[in-house]
Structure 1
Amino acid sequence: MFKHSIFLRIYAGLVILVVLIAIFSYLLVQIINYQRAQEYRESLTDGLSFVISQGVARQQTDQQKRDWISDASDLLELPIYYVGADRVDLTRAEQKRIKEQKSAVRYDAKTATAYVILGLQDDLQHYLYVKVDKIGERQMKAVPIFILDYLIYYPGQEREYLEKIQKYFSYPINIQSIRDLGLDPEQVGRLRQDNSVILYRDNASVRGTTISIVSPMPNNPAEVLVIGPIPLFNWMPFQLSAGITLLSLFLLSLGIYGLILPMQRKLRQVNYALNKMKSGNLSVRLPVEGTDELAGLASSYNSMSDHIQRLIEAQRELMRAVSHELRTPVARIRFGMEMLTDEDDYDYRVQQMEMIDKDIEALNTLIDEIMTYAKLEQGMPSLDFEQIMLTDVLEQVATETEALKTQKEIELIPPPPYVIVEAERRYLHRVVQNLVGNAVRYCDHKVRITGGIQADGQAYVCVEDDGPGIAEQDRARIFEAFSRLDDSRTRASGGYGLGLSIVSRIAYWFGGRVQVDQSPVLGGARFMMTWPAQQRTKPAAKTEKQKEST
């Protein structure tokens, strides 16, 4: 069922596509956030790394440097190591960052520990190696201490030097008046006691929650050093969510286009073929790919084109054959009428009148055959299937044939009376009548009629004769309209070449087929028509391939 429906395949494809895009988006967010988190960690430590390296560089001796580093480690409550450069294997990107006086951060997700590597401005043989396994108020309040330690060397020029080192910080640092901050009395009191204050701000905008660190300025109680606001890491900022959403929609649209493209291509082929058909070109056929609805549409179009083309060709052949068949009786009637005008003998006139009457009857018979064939050829006739005792139809045709005094032996081997088949009685009678009439016309002495139901549930009627039979290479052609195999099938035999064509069309509309071979008993031709004894589906549902096999 799934593989036969293009719409189910599209729906299932959409579900799979959405799941795949969701997984892809999740992995993409994780990868992007990993990179963002790394950049965030580096941005937080870059400015601090600069002022620490400047603090170490101001120390005159190696011991003073080690003492300063030890004091910094106690202040941060984080281990800081003074290691040789040859003991640290840096990547190219880390070397570039340290050369730019920035920090290199290595993060271990399993232990939630960051390792910060700091370069020293005047000491290329050593690095500072900081193990950061915790971040709290103690560490945050230590940041302004290092900045003030840097500024203490530039009294009166604090603001100018803050502007110079601002490029190393990803967050603002400046000196403000304490009255401009809107602090409550408790916070102001803590600042008067030389304690830093941490301010949390919950912003409803895209920045989210921020942290600011306010620290008192030495020797100036009216001003404070303000670090921040520093935004907390946002795992799903608006820009990222909007970008991932747009990318997902784009990928989804590409996937939908990929699912719809084959159907669009097939529909264009159908539209092209229909336009060609509208212009009178019936030679275009659609490729049948798969077993879905569009494949069924292509197959139906091809069958329709074949049927229309065959109908047009049949109509042309019919017109040519009709004009040919009508000429002879019409010419004989005209000749007979001319003879009547010049003949005074009564008996001869009566004889001519009888011949004209026979020609008129032949015309009526030909017209009836043509009308029947045209009706069956143009489209599905109105069939009224009913349950029929097959033996009744066979006996009726046998009786009617014997009444014609054909001097031929008609042998009927009727099926049992309980053999019931579903068929249109009128058309079934016509089939048996045409087959028997054809056999009587070409047999030597005997015609045999049989019927019944085969083991596979197919009903059949069979007519055999002891005539010359039909060559194997001619057996398919005899079912064509107005077909005559040799000179024996002339007007003298009473045939017009339509009887077997009518049988073929009735067999098709019955959902069956008719075939001819050699009679194993009588030695002549054996015609057999088979059709479903129980009509479960409409005969029109047969494919063109089945139709051509009849």
Structure 2
Amino acid sequence: MSFLKHSIFLRIYTGLVCLVALVALLAYIIVQVINYQRAQDYREEMADGVAYVVSQVIARQPTPQSQLDWMMDVSRVLELPLDLVPAAKLDTSRSERRRLESNHAIVRYNAKTAVGDVYTRVEGISDAYLHIQVNKLSEVQIKMIPILILEDLVYYPGSEEQRLKELQPYFPYPLSFRNLSDLHLDMDQLSRLRMDKTQTILLYRDSATMQGTTITAVSAYTNVPNKVLVLGPVPVFNWLPFRLFAGITLFSLFMLILGVYALMRPLEHKIGKVRHALNEVRSGNLDTRVTVEGSDEVANLGLSFNMMTEHIQRLIEAQRELTRAVSHELRTPVARVRFGMEMLADTDDYDSRIKQMEMIDKDIEALNSLIDEIMTYAKLEQGTPSLHIETFALKGVLEQVLQETEVIKKDKRISSHLPAEDVMVETEYRYLHRVIQNFVGNALRYCDTTVRVSGGVKNGMAFVTVEDDGAGIPEKDREKVFEAFARLDDSRTRASGGYGLGLSIVSRIAYWFGGSVTVDQSPLLGGARFIMTWPAMRSSDHKKKSKRNKKESSI
């Protein structure tokens, strides 16, 4: 889960998958809702004409009994129940009442039983509605539709075509009289129409157009010579017509565009911040920082950018300080060398010349030492140290430093509290030796009589501690001692020697070890106590971080 949280690719990909699933579900719901309404409209459109014609024929019957008899005959032929339902028993909505008042039919469809109830108004009957229960739909019912229309046309001799125009608004498909020769019927169909004047034939057409499958009903009509009544083409209900499919597709694409924009907008915003910060840095504003939001790759990019700008600032400041300090530090030995050379030129005494040459040699050695310190500091500050990581006993490096300082401790006393032989640490031996050597050298230089060295591993963190009984370091100056060429004005004076680079080098070593270095007051001896801590064993995350820091610092 943490990888998913921090990976932009997986976050966007997962977001897209969820977005596509959501849009697909939404599109499915929309299609279902639209198709439900389309199916209801289709049922009402198909029922309108038939119900209207039936109601017109019923209204023309002379007596109520003849109306019932005719409905029974039609019900038997259609194989569909027909009856009159009292208006008081039919609870209608406003839209249904509006359709009934305009002589249109209403359809109530029960999806569970697949039964549709059709209701329409009958002229002359105000207290009841015609009810047709459609529980099945077959060719029998379809063939009966033109027969019902023809029965209605019987009441309009000579004006059948005008009557068809009056009926047309109630039918969603064309009603017309057409010449038999225009229909391109085969011989079997032509013979059926000519032999049986009550015959109705159905023509099925399946096309790849938006209209899809259609049915056309053709019925002979004796009152109009050489003409047949044609109903249709009647479109079969298509659950996914082209227009609906195109509309849902465009809607889905639009929703995906909005979703992708919503997913990419935060990323674009974050990258825009980094780009703006880069432009600011390019213009010379090194104080620019990127606001880090989240913990993904772009946030890591912003964090790396901030680290890079901080490092660049530090390098520039270090370069300026190094330039100033080096020029200042070099003046003294160079001046002494120049003075010694002048003295050599002015004296003929052999002993004086030897003495001056020895002094010049010491100054040259001091220059070499200063150059070595400067190179070491610059190498660590620029972030390109070559760390040779190895595992070794911490006690061994402490003992080596103690042995090396025996010859320079003079009348000072060094006590120690060393770790056990099996206490192992994983780091760069050479740089750790340099840290301890610097601590002990400083302690011997500024102590009164005693220096104490200790080390060990606690809670996974290795540490070395060097304390002395000298004057200590004021709290306000404890951060300053780790700055390059920094010297304090009281106890740690220039007269004690050194160039002010030792502790700054220690600070950079601690940084590259993944640890820290601090100074405070020794609770045992009362003077200064220097402590460096670092991870005793380098984890894989720490190794990756170190490699990344090297890469960023070398940019």
Tell me if TM exceeds 0.5: yes
The superposition leaves residues 225-284 of structure 1 with CA deviations (integer Å, 9 ceiling, x where unpaired) of 111121211112222222222222222232222222222221222222222222222222
Instruction: Quote how far apart the aligned CAs of 1:170 are.
Output: 0.7
Instruction: Quote how far apart the aligned CAs of 1:373 are.
Output: 0.8
Please identify, of 439-448 and 269-278, the stretch whose mean Cα deviation from structure 2 is larger: 269-278
Instruction: Quote how far apart the aligned CAs of 1:304 are.
Output: 1.8
1:293 aligns with 2:297: yes
Query: In 2 relative to 1, CA 415–102 (structure 1 residues): closer, same or farther, beyond 3 Å?
Result: closer
Which residue number in structure 2 is paired with residue 269 of structure 1? 273
Aligned equivalent of 2:471, options 464, 468, 472: 468
Aligned equivalent of 2:161, options 159, 162, 165: 159
Instruction: Quote how far apart the aligned CAs of 1:465 are.
Output: 1.3
Which residue number in structure 1 is paired with residue 56 of structure 2? 54
Instruction: Quote how far apart the aligned CAs of 1:309 are.
Output: 1.7
Aligned equivalent of 1:498, options 495, 501, 511: 501
Aligned equivalent of 1:108, options 96, 110, 114: 110
1:205 aligns with 2:208: yes
Aligned equivalent of 2:522, options 507, 513, 519: 519
| 2:143/2:202 contact within 8 Å kept | no
| 1:380/1:540 contact within 8 Å kept | no
Instruction: Quote how far apart the aligned CAs of 1:351 are.
Output: 6.3
RMSD between aligned residues? 3.0
| 1:51/1:146 contact within 8 Å kept | yes
Q: Secondary structure at the match of 1:213?
A: strand
Aligned equivalent of 1:41, options 30, 33, 43: 43
Q: Secondary structure at the match of 2:173?
A: coil
1:479 aligns with 2:475: no
Query: In 2 relative to 1, CA 197–61 (structure 1 residues): closer, same or farther, beyond 3 Å?
Result: closer
Which residue number in structure 2 is paired with residue 363 of structure 1? 367
Query: In 2 relative to 1, CA 200–416 (structure 1 residues): closer, same or farther, beyond 3 Å?
Result: same
Which residue number in structure 1 is paired with residue 257 of structure 2? 253
Please identify, of 341-350 and 124-133, the stretch whose mean Cα deviation from structure 2 is larger: 341-350
Instruction: Give % identity.
Output: 58
Q: Distance in 2 between matches of 1:39 and 1:469?
A: 96
Instruction: Quote how far apart the aligned CAs of 1:97 are.
Output: 1.9
Which residue number in structure 2 is paired with residue 22 of structure 1? 24
Query: In 2 relative to 1, CA 23–486 (structure 1 residues): closer, same or farther, beyond 3 Å?
Result: same
Letter in 1 for 2:533: T
| 1:509/1:539 contact within 8 Å kept | no
Letter in 2 for 1:245: T
Aligned equivalent of 2:190, options 172, 175, 188: 188
Q: Distance in 1 between matches of 2:481 and 2:125?
A: 108
Instruction: Quote how far apart the aligned CAs of 1:376 are.
Output: 0.8
| 1:449/1:461 contact within 8 Å kept | yes
Q: Distance in 1 between matches of 2:422 and 2:112?
A: 87
Q: Distance in 2 between matches of 1:39 and 1:242?
A: 20
Aligned equivalent of 1:139, options 138, 141, 150: 141
Instruction: Quote how far apart the aligned CAs of 1:313 are.
Output: 1.8
Q: Distance in 2 between matches of 1:258 and 1:174?
A: 56
| 2:457/2:536 contact within 8 Å kept | no
Instruction: Quote how far apart the aligned CAs of 1:20 are.
Output: 1.9
| 2:119/2:130 contact within 8 Å kept | yes
1:333-482 equivalent positions in 2, closer than 5 A: 357-388=361-392, 390-404=394-408, 406-412=410-416, 415=419, 420-451=424-455, 453-482=456-485
Which residue number in structure 2 is paired with residue 32 of structure 1? 34
Q: Distance in 2 between matches of 1:267 and 1:121?
A: 74
Instruction: Quote how far apart the aligned CAs of 1:171 are.
Output: 0.8
Letter in 1 for 2:497: G
Instruction: Quote how far apart the aligned CAs of 1:124 are.
Output: 4.6
Query: In 2 relative to 1, CA 405–292 (structure 1 residues): closer, same or farther, beyond 3 Å?
Result: closer
Which residue number in structure 2 is paired with residue 97 of structure 1? 99
| 1:511/1:539 contact within 8 Å kept | no
Which residue number in structure 2 is paired with residue 234 of structure 1? 238
Q: Distance in 1 between matches of 2:73 and 2:421?
A: 119
Q: Secondary structure at the match of 2:288?
A: coil
| 2:439/2:466 contact within 8 Å kept | yes
| 2:337/2:360 contact within 8 Å kept | yes
Query: In 2 relative to 1, CA 375–79 (structure 1 residues): closer, same or farther, beyond 3 Å?
Result: same
Q: Secondary structure at the match of 1:81?
A: strand
Q: Distance in 1 between matches of 2:480 and 2:201?
A: 103
The superposition leaves residues 309-345 of structure 1 with CA deviations (integer Å, 9 ceiling, x where unpaired) of 2222222222233333334444555566667777888
| 2:415/2:453 contact within 8 Å kept | yes
Query: In 2 relative to 1, CA 149–449 (structure 1 residues): closer, same or farther, beyond 3 Å?
Result: same
Q: Secondary structure at the match of 2:472?
A: coil
Please identify, of 129-138 and 356-365, the stretch whose mean Cα deviation from structure 2 is larger: 356-365
Query: In 2 relative to 1, CA 441–70 (structure 1 residues): closer, same or farther, beyond 3 Å?
Result: same
Query: In 2 relative to 1, CA 480–540 (structure 1 residues): closer, same or farther, beyond 3 Å?
Result: farther
| 2:203/2:217 contact within 8 Å kept | no
Instruction: Quote how far apart the aligned CAs of 1:141 are.
Output: 2.3
Instruction: Quote how far apart the aligned CAs of 1:371 are.
Output: 1.8
| 2:84/2:129 contact within 8 Å kept | yes
Aligned equivalent of 1:224, options 212, 222, 228: 228
Aligned equivalent of 1:307, options 302, 307, 311: 311
Q: Distance in 1 between matches of 2:419 and 2:138?
A: 104
Q: Distance in 1 between matches of 2:535 and 2:166?
A: 99
Q: Distance in 2 between matches of 1:431 and 1:29?
A: 75
- Normalised by the length of structure 1, the TM-score is 0.88
Letter in 2 for 1:270: V
Q: Distance in 1 between matches of 2:356 and 2:494?
A: 19
Instruction: Quote how far apart the aligned CAs of 1:303 are.
Output: 1.7
1:533-544 equivalent positions in 2, closer than 5 A: 533-537=536-540, 541=545
Q: Distance in 1 between matches of 2:538 and 2:87?
A: 94
Q: Secondary structure at the match of 2:4?
A: coil
| 2:473/2:528 contact within 8 Å kept | yes
Instruction: Quote how far apart the aligned CAs of 1:492 are.
Output: 0.7
Query: In 2 relative to 1, CA 42–389 (structure 1 residues): closer, same or farther, beyond 3 Å?
Result: closer
Q: Secondary structure at the match of 1:127?
A: strand
Q: Distance in 1 between matches of 2:185 and 2:409?
A: 130
Letter in 2 for 1:305: T
Which residue number in structure 2 is paired with residue 548 of structure 1? none
Q: Distance in 2 between matches of 1:345 and 1:262?
A: 83
Q: Secondary structure at the match of 2:57?
A: helix
**Structure 2 residue ranges without an equivalent (≥5):** 550-555
Letter in 2 for 1:17: L
Aligned equivalent of 1:149, options 125, 148, 151: 151
Q: Distance in 2 between matches of 1:200 and 1:216?
A: 14
Which residue number in structure 1 is paired with residue 80 of structure 2? 78
Letter in 1 for 2:130: L
**Structure 1 residue ranges without an equivalent (≥5):** 545-550
